[in-house]
Amino acid sequence: MGLSGRGVAFACVLVCAACSFKSLDDLKANASVDGGASGASGTGGGSAGSGASLPLGALCAANATCQSGHCAAGICCDTACDSPCVACAAAAKESGEKDGTCGPAKAGTDPRGDCDEEAPSTCGNDGKCDGAGACEKHPAGTLCSDTTCSGGVKTLPKLCDGAGQCVASGSEQCQPASCAGNVCSGDCANDASCKSGEYCDLLTGDCVAKVDLGQTCSQPSQCGSGFCVDGSCCESACTGACQACNGSLTLAPSGTCAPVVAGTDPDDDCADEGAASCGNDGKCDGSGACRKYGPTAVCAAATCSGSTQTNAKTCDGQGNCGGNGTTGCSPYLCNGATCGSSCSADNQCVNGSFCSSSTCEGKKSNGASCGSAQECTSGHCVDGVCCNTACTASCQACSAAKKGAGANGTCGNVVAGQDPDNDCAQEAASTCGKDGTCNGSGGCRLWPGGTVCTLGNCKLDPANNFTYLQTNPDTCNGTGTCVDKGTVQCGLLVCGGSQCKTSCATTADCVLGDCIAGTCYFNPPI
């Protein structure tokens, strides 16, 4: 916005006609809103937990997100770029170099607010940068000290030299040699001394015709319209926000009050309200109003809980902070403010998943091959397959191969006669205990009935030395007991090994008597 009576003589006013940025301090103050995790949709340019990964020229919100370690006014920069009148964005620099390289800010702008405007009488800063990396001084010719007159000698007004100095313009001998106030007799003392359509030129003391719209001026009295705005004679006071009357600041001819170019704010009308507010972004919108933060600005950082990420919210350009919905993280859980993308432990995966080689995978159903219990929905990995139970009892298995029947995944009894896990250590037959295999009913099989547990023998009967006694072999009953099978008298026959002979072949096979036709006779038949 231009103001009449600025007292600034503009030889040429150059102002940025493209986007420039607010101060680094403002960006840092708003960085916590983004958290460095806004990604391509926000000013952060990266993702939470991504580290210093952004190259020069990328959008950023914090130093830590840039490879260079410098986030200057929202751009990853080669230096901190925090000196007065410098910028890192190409649009804000005098040379128009690429984003990411610090250079002088455009002449006529003050993107970081470094150059506070000083009174023209000081010849100091005029509130803008000079395009060479320094604050611009009030231009040469700016009035910094009024005319005085004493003893018939007029001391001409002092003017700024453009380098910050108020320089004397010399003096004149009055003709006639007398003063009238601060001027010589006969000189105009002020604009009121001149006729309509003229103004008093204090340097010459002459009345001069006022200039037309668009012509250079330093004070309203020089203009036929009565308005000197932004160094140009203007059609109106042009006091509205984001308006100017100098053609270098607008898209209209000098002298016409018009909106300043979008992305600029030559008179600092639009205070940056911060991205979190979605309010003014510190620039004008090209239509005579302050521009609001647009859809690249993050107004609320992303959050994440459980396995659901609430995406970062961005501004809509109308002052509102819109919602960007949610993103499901499954099969991963949240990792900070965003979804996880890899794992090192099962507790980084959603229920029903497990961590395998840094990847969360769905748990397996019964019967699927497995290497550990964590892989199975049931929580049991038995015999290399996911099993419906822990299946820890003897002579039970979960794979069809070990069971000898059935299907993988269901705990069942090992078929009789097998013992794949060596659950049934074989015991001696004399014990009638385990025979070294399973019984098909989930237990160890015992030596079967009829198994000899004590050997038999045949010898002279100790109670009768004239006969032989056969002691029968004892046998198992199939339930773990060795059963005594008793003895048998051999009668007139002798033993044949461990048993009584059943017939005789010779008299030697008889204890007493003779062997006749295979039978021993004590008294042979007549």
- Residue 494 CB neighbour total at 10 angstroms: 18
The strand pairing partners of 228, in sequence order, are 233
> What mean pLDDT comes out for the span 331-353?
95
Buried (b) or exposed (e) across 346-378, using 16+ Cβ within 10 A? eebbbeebbbeeeebeebbebbbebeebbbbeb
Under the banding of pLDDT at 50, 70 and 90, the label for residue 486 is: very high
pLDDT given for residue 184 in this prediction? 86
> How confident is the model over 333-345, as a mean pLDDT?
94
pLDDT above 50 for 437: yes
- pLDDT tens digits along 490-522: 999 999 999 999 999 999 999 988 999 999 998
pLDDT value for 238: 97
Whether the pLDDT of residue 33 is over 60: the answer is no
pLDDT value, residue 90: 83
> What gap in Å lies between CA 64 and CA 66, rounded to an integer?
6
pLDDT band of residue 51 (cuts 50, 70, 90) is low
Q: How high is the pLDDT of residue 76?
A: 93
The pLDDT, as a whole number, for residue 526 is 63
Query: What pTM, to 2 d.p., does this model score?
Result: 0.47
In the chain, % of residues over pLDDT 90: 66
CB 227 within 8 A of CB 234: yes
Does residue 50 or residue 9 have the better pLDDT?
Answer: 50
- Who contacts 182 (Cβ-Cβ below 8 Å, separation ≥6)? 146, 147, 148, 149, 189
Amino acid 256: pLDDT = 98
What is residue 299's DSSP assignment? E
pLDDT at res. 514: 92
451 DSSP assignment: -
Mind listing the pLDDT tens digit for each residue in 279-316? 999 999 999 999 999 988 899 989 999 999 999 999 99
Tell me the two tokens of residue 122.
């000081």
Is it the case that residue 27 has pLDDT exceeding 70?
no
pLDDT over 80 at 5, yes or no: no
Task: Give pLDDT, residue 381.
Answer: 98
Q: Could you tell me what percentage of the chain is helix, strand and coil, using 3-state DSSP and rounding each to the nearest 5?
A: 10, 30, 60
pLDDT at 15: 29
pLDDT at 182: 83
Which residue, chain included where needed, has tokens 């030697």?
Answer: 508
Which pLDDT score is estimated for 10? 28
Q: What is the mean pLDDT of residues 475-495?
A: 96
Q: How confident is the model at residue 110 (pLDDT cuts 50, 70, 90)?
A: confident
pLDDT band at residue 21 under the 50/70/90 scheme: very low
Least confident range from 79-88, 197-206, 496-505: namely 197-206
Higher-confidence position of 4 and 118: 118
- What percent of the chain is predicted at pLDDT more than 70? 90
What is the model's pLDDT at position 224?
95
For residue range 162-196, what is the model confidence (pLDDT) as tens digits?
A: 999 999 988 888 888 788 888 888 888 888 889 99
**Tokens at residue 289, please?**
């109003």
Looking at every residue in the chain, the average pLDDT score rounds to 87
**pLDDT surpasses 50 at 2:** no
- Of 41-45, 241-245, 521-525, minimum mean pLDDT range: 41-45
Q: By C-alpha distance, which of 503, 17, 518 is closest to 244?
A: 17
Give the per-residue pLDDT at 74: 86
**What's the pLDDT score for residue 39?**
35
